[in-house]
Amino acid sequence: MDIFTDAIRDLGPAEKLRLVEQIWDDLAAEEAPLPLPDWAVAEATRRRDAMLADPKLASTHEEVGKRIGDSRND
């Protein structure tokens, strides 16, 4: 392992979450778009094409919110 991985493993859960938040905020501050791997672009395209072919596959905001809420109650 490298020194960074060892240091991260030594952090507690709250500290790890704070580190992730700091990294996320730093990425969000970048002006250049983040590169996406080819597989992610292909999957997004596949899902878009499937939804356009059958709009019933889409979910409303309310449906998504309910699924998220229900999953938190499990």
Assess whether pLDDT exceeds 80 at residue 74: no
pLDDT digits (tens, 9 = 90+) for 7-38: 999 999 999 999 999 999 999 999 998 899 99
C-alpha angle 73-21-1 in degrees, rounded to nearest 5: 105
Residue 54 CA neighbour count, 13 Å, CB half:
5
| Spans of all domains in the chain | 1-34, 35-74
What's this model's pTM, rounded to 2 decimal places?
A: 0.51
Sole residue written with tokens 């999957």: 43
